Amino acid sequence: MNTPWRPLRVLIADSSALARRLARQQIDADERLEVVSVVPSLGQLRDAMVTSGPDLILVEEEIGGHSGIALIRQLMTTSPIPSVLLSGSVDADLRRRAARAGIVGVVEKPASLNRQDAFWERLRQTLRSAARAHIPRLPPSGQAPRVIGIAISTGGPPVVRYILSELPATLPPIVIVQHMRDAFIGQFAEQLDRVTPIRVVVAEHRQVLRPGWCYIAPGGHQTRVNADGNTLRTCLGPPQPVSGHLPSGDALLYSIAYSVGGASAGAVLTGIGLDGAAGLLAMRRAGAQTLAQDKATSTVFGMPRVAAEYGAAARVVSLTDVPGALKSTALVR
């Protein structure tokens, strides 16, 4: 069976408004690529990584007086991601510095971006190649998770009920994206709250995440996790589908990867399609503990299969082993 396909998600950081506009147009012209965010500064790039969950970063060499190479070098120590550098002048020294920072492609930008078909095709090809580059994963952080993120779809409600009923109220906060009609999510959370030792609620905007609580993503928003100093909060974003879903497991897991890094755990469980797999891969690259449900116990072995094929899941376990696997993460030091 072939792995489901989706375009590669590209984040563009460039100080030139014209360059940003043309880059979006030219990259979106390739059905294999999709621009998910365009930002004019490195500060905004950090925020966009959390909110847009890119597979690739295209960054200008110098943006707003700051070094794009230095930023990518820093990102590679916490949230490894394939990156391509744009520069008006490319030489051997620049390529060496970029490679040492973990950048996998360097493209020289012409003085004028208009009527530059060869340049744009070279850039698109470099982006596609960068996505296939080997990006070293950070080793498991060895830290107990501050938050656990779960993506689940078809066959999910009884699975979620079973897992939560087997978990102690001393566990770190859990945030779940369950693909379900919005009208049923409140009732689902109430039922879980009555029968499990964990407090279960529908997530609200900017809620502080508490140990022993589980937050179910509401419909009509993307639910993400943001770090506010030492405090983790939910963030309900605009109604823009990610990986074809609203809410999306990818949106949640990407946000955990970029906000919390290795001090987290993630799981992709039964469901159709591929939602959650790319986000779980970002978590694993950041040093988080990750798992997927096995074929034998999945109602539909779609999402967890893709997670396993992406190399996103460090472990593939049966449903009966999921609670124990999540509990064991809390014991890691």
The three-state DSSP-derived secondary structure of the chain is CCCCCCCEEEEEECCCHHHHHHHHHHHHCCCCEEEEEEECCHHHHHHHHHHHCCCEEEEECEECCEEHHHHHHHHHCCCCCCEEEEECCCCHHHHHHHHHHCCCEEEECCCCCCCCHHHHHHHHHHHHHHHCCCCCCCCCCCCCCCCEEEEECCCHHHHHHHHHHCCCCCCCCEEEEECCCHHHHHHHHHHHHHHCCCEEEECCCCCECCCCEEEECCCCCEEEEEEECCEEEEEEECCCCECCECCCHHHHHHHHHHHCCCCCEEEECCECCCCCHHHHHHHHHCCCEEEEECCCCCCCECHHHHHHHCCCCCEEECHHHHHHHHHHHCCCC
Average pLDDT value for the chain: 91
* Per-residue pLDDT tens digits for 239-279: 888 888 999 999 999 999 999 988 999 999 999 999 999 99
Residue 250: its pLDDT value, please?
A: 95
Is residue 114 within 8 A of residue 16, CB to CB? The reply is: no
Residue 2 has pLDDT above 70, yes or no: no
Confidence of residue 333 (pLDDT cuts 50, 70, 90): very low
Confidence of residue 125 (pLDDT cuts 50, 70, 90): very high
* Per-residue pLDDT tens digits for 284-324: 988 999 999 999 999 999 999 999 998 899 999 999 999 99
Of 153-162, 195-204, 240-249, minimum mean pLDDT range: 240-249
Domain ranges of the chain: 8-131, 148-329
Residue 229: its pLDDT value, please?
A: 85
Residue with more model confidence, 232 or 241: 232
**Residues that are catalytic:** 153, 179, 275
Residue 116: its pLDDT value, please?
A: 85
* Per-residue pLDDT tens digits for 128-140: 999 888 777 666 6
Residue 331 has pLDDT above 80, yes or no: no
The percent of residues in the chain predicted with pLDDT above 90, rounded, is 71
* Per-residue pLDDT tens digits for 58-104: 999 988 888 999 988 888 877 788 999 999 899 999 999 999 888 99
Architecture of the CATH domain 148-329: 3-Layer(aba) Sandwich (3.40)
Residue 23 has pLDDT above 90, yes or no: yes
Tell if the pTM clears 0.85, that is, is over it.
Answer: no
Of 72-81, 170-179, 221-230, minimum mean pLDDT range: 72-81
Residue with more model confidence, 332 or 321: 321
Q: Which CATH class is domain 8-131?
A: alpha beta
